Amino acid sequence: MGEVWRAIDTSLGRPVAIKVLPDAFAHDPERLARFEREARTLAALNHPNIATVYGLADGNGMRAIVMELVDGPTLADRIATGPIPYEEALPLAKQMAEALEAAHEQGIVHRDLKPGTVMVRADGTVKVLDFGLAKAMDPAEPSANVSQSRTITSPAMTRSGVILGTAAYMAPEQAKGKPADRRADIWAFGATLFEMLTGTHAFKGDDVPETLAAILSKEPDWRKLPAAASALRPLLLRCLKKDPKHRLQAIGDARIQIDELMSGSAEPGTTSSLHTPVATALRSE
């Protein structure tokens, strides 16, 4: 969504990250005005697992967003070295879920969650980046043209050549060009967690059409899930339901189940009784 630079806030003497907006976006008055409205909402998010938005800045004809500087690799960098062990993946996943839960409570949907938008500091703290920016940077939504995916039609994404990376985490409804709500974030959370544990995409193809086809018609290769992570399979299955009505409806339920696994109160390979009413209600929709 733009170039990111390490910078110094000279007024406060603190390091910050400066994300320079793409020209096609920064010179579109309507989209810029919408982005500024979104930025004000994002700046109100205050959570230890969400990278803070400090504000907007102008300089030398450029428009930029000023954000918290997070030192550390992305999850994508970490996964590139191999699967993340189950015991290490659990606390990372819990923090991701907590970040999504806090945003969803404020009515903010990420819409582009993936390993590349999650950073991990040296102390193990997770920071989720770019909340709501996918929505803010997209063109105005078409009124009735469901053939256009909001992420894929973003000029910034098209020019940067990272459509495939984004497509791998798109929920089926996004792949069909339908509106994305918090359940799309839950799908992306499940796809990201699967990749953390296996080192491979849950849904993959050689190009965008093949990737989207896999999302719409195939299931993850569950044989790749390590035996040590079998306790997470019921959660992953629920997160990756293709019909959003049958999908996990609140990321807070994922956070609770992961917390139980971490504390040892949930038996491996089973789903806590706390979630039985939720699962029954979801099946009856």
Can you give the pLDDT at residue 280? 32
**How many whole angstroms separate alpha carbon 250 and alpha carbon 184?**
11
Can you give the pLDDT at residue 137? 54
Q: Which amino acid is at 181?
A: D
Are 258 and 239 part of one and the same domain? yes
Q: 3-state class of 239 per DSSP? A: helix
| CATH number of the domain where residue 197 is located | 1.10.510.10
Mean per-residue pLDDT, 6-26: 85
* Residues spanned by the domain of 36: 3-68
Are 250 and 109 part of one and the same domain? yes
Tell me the pLDDT tens digit for each residue of 140-191: 444 333 222 334 434 334 433 345 458 899 999 988 888 889 999 999 999 9
Q: Per-residue confidence at 197, pLDDT binned at 50, 70, 90?
A: very high
Rounded to 5 degrees, φ, ψ at 127 are -130, 115
Tokens linked to 20 = 């320079």
- Supply the residues annotated as catalytic: 112
Of 53, 68, 83, the residue that ends a domain is 68
**How many domains does the chain fold into?**
2
Taking CA 7 as the corner, what is the angle to CA 4 and CA 12, rounded to the nearest 5 degrees?
135
Q: Per-residue confidence at 28, pLDDT binned at 50, 70, 90?
A: confident
Tell me the pLDDT tens digit for each residue of 71-80: 999 999 999 9
Beta strands in 83-225, from DSSP E residues, in sequence order: 118-120, 126-128
Asked if 17 contacts 6 with a C-beta cutoff of 8 angstroms, the reply is yes
**How many whole angstroms separate alpha carbon 107 and alpha carbon 84?**
31
Are 238 and 214 part of one and the same domain? yes
Are 94 and 59 part of one and the same domain? no
Instruction: Tell me which of 53-57, 80-84, 130-134 is least confident.
Output: 130-134
Average pLDDT, the chain: 81
Q: What percent of the chain has pLDDT over 70?
A: 79
Asked if 178 contacts 189 with a C-beta cutoff of 8 angstroms, the reply is no
| CATH number of the domain where residue 18 is located | 3.30.200.20
Tell me the pLDDT tens digit for each residue of 60-119: 777 788 889 999 999 999 999 999 999 999 999 999 999 999 999 988 888 889 999 999
275 has pLDDT over 80: no
Rounded to 5 degrees, φ, ψ at 3 are -85, 140
Are 62 and 83 part of one and the same domain? no
Q: Per-residue confidence at 194, pLDDT binned at 50, 70, 90?
A: very high
How far are the Cα atoms of 100, 129, 213, 239, 259 from residue 282, in angstroms, in the given order? 20, 30, 25, 12, 21
Are 268 and 142 part of one and the same domain? yes
Are 101 and 240 part of one and the same domain? yes
Instruction: Tell me which of 2-6, 14-18, 213-217, 262-266 is least confident.
Output: 262-266
